[in-house]
């Protein structure tokens, strides 16, 4: 969905191919890919991700184990050092602000003896604030198939072209829901403007292991983009609303 939206705006994607080299001049830059393709543009932006900034803090001297700069913790965020916990981007996993918030609350409650519930990484919503946005929680269809087998997984993809509010705001995209056959929803994936606002419903469905049949009767207001999720749930429950 994102690739189609980008293509309509003249943005081309080359996936799964490495950069072979870069040639720059005062007027332009040329990027050579390993598949023989050459791209020429005014500027080159290289995005290589982020790493932990833990060097020189005295962590190892204090007995805190590191792995490639990341702080090693158990599933309750305890380090190897007594009475030391770690939270946020220095802990391996998703580097997201809301994950850091949740981990901070978790450790505070852990120290207070409240025995907080561990939130699995797959239940943490991920949002890419591109145009259109991408929002996701849980397993992708491919991940679910790898974990459980093709015959145990079902998925439905609803095109936002059929969603009135998406038409009003002028966005394309999809709402995809992945479930276990005769079982719970294990993944929700959205592409489209503003879909980051919808992912909390997906988080509840995945986190509570809801079955589409259980939530199919829930009514979504019209016209809202949330109807796209509702129609995907209906379809997976065998009760499609707008489908032949």
Q: Which tens digits make up the pLDDT trace of 148-177?
A: 999 999 999 999 999 999 999 999 999 999
Other Cβ atoms within 10 Å of 107 Cβ, number: 18
Q: Which tens digits make up the pLDDT trace of 13-32?
A: 898 999 999 999 999 999 99
CB 2 within 8 A of CB 130: yes
Other Cβ atoms within 10 Å of 142 Cβ, number: 12
- Please check whether residues 140 and 173 belong to one and the same domain: yes
**How many domains does the chain divide into?**
3
Catalytic residues: 222
- Please check whether residues 185 and 221 belong to one and the same domain: yes
Encoded tokens for 166: 């998406």
What is the pairing mode between strands 134-138 and 126-128? antiparallel
Distance separating the N- and C-terminal Cα atoms of the chain: 22
pLDDT tens, per residue, the chain with 244 residues? 788 888 888 888 898 999 999 999 999 999 999 999 999 999 999 988 889 999 999 999 999 999 999 999 999 999 999 999 999 999 999 999 999 999 999 999 999 999 999 989 999 999 999 999 999 999 999 999 999 999 999 999 999 999 999 999 999 999 999 999 999 999 999 999 999 999 999 999 999 999 999 999 999 999 999 999 999 999 999 999 876 5
- Please check whether residues 34 and 86 belong to one and the same domain: no
Residue 38 lies in domain: 18-46
Residue 134 maps to a domain: yes
- Please check whether residues 184 and 133 belong to one and the same domain: yes
**What secondary structure letter does DSSP report for 156?**
E
């Amino acid at each position: 969905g994102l690739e189609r939206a980008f293509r309509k705006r003249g943005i081309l994607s080359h996936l799964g191919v490495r950069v072979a080299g870069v040639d720059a001049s005062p007027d332009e830059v040329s990027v050579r890919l390993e598949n023989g393709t050459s791209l020429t543009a005014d500027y080159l932006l290289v995005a290589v991700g982020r790493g932990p900034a833990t060097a020189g803090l005295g962590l190892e001297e204090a007995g805190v184990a590191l792995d490639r700069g990341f702080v090693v913790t158990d599933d309750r965020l305890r380090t190897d050092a007594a009475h030391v916990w770690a939270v946020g981007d220095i802990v391996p996993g998703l580097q997201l602000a809301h994950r850091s918030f949740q981990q901070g609350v978790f450790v505070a409650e852990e120290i207070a003896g409240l025995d907080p519930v561990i939130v699995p990484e797959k239940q943490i919503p991920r949002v890419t604030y591109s145009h259109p946005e991408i929002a996701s929680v849980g397993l992708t269809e491919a991940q679910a198939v790898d974990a459980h087998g093709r015959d145990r997984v079902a998925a439905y993809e609803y095109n936002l072209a059929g969603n009135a509010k998406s038409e009003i705001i002028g966005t394309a995209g999809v709402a995809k829901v992945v479930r276990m056959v005769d079982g719970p929803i294990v993944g929700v994936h959205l592409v489209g403007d503003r879909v980051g606002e919808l992912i909390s419903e997906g988080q509840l469905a995945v986190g509570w292991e809801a079955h589409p049949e259980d939530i199919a009767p829930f009514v979504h207001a019209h016209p809202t983009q949330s109807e796209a999720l509702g129609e995907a749930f209906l379809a997976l429950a065998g009760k499609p609303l707008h489908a032949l």
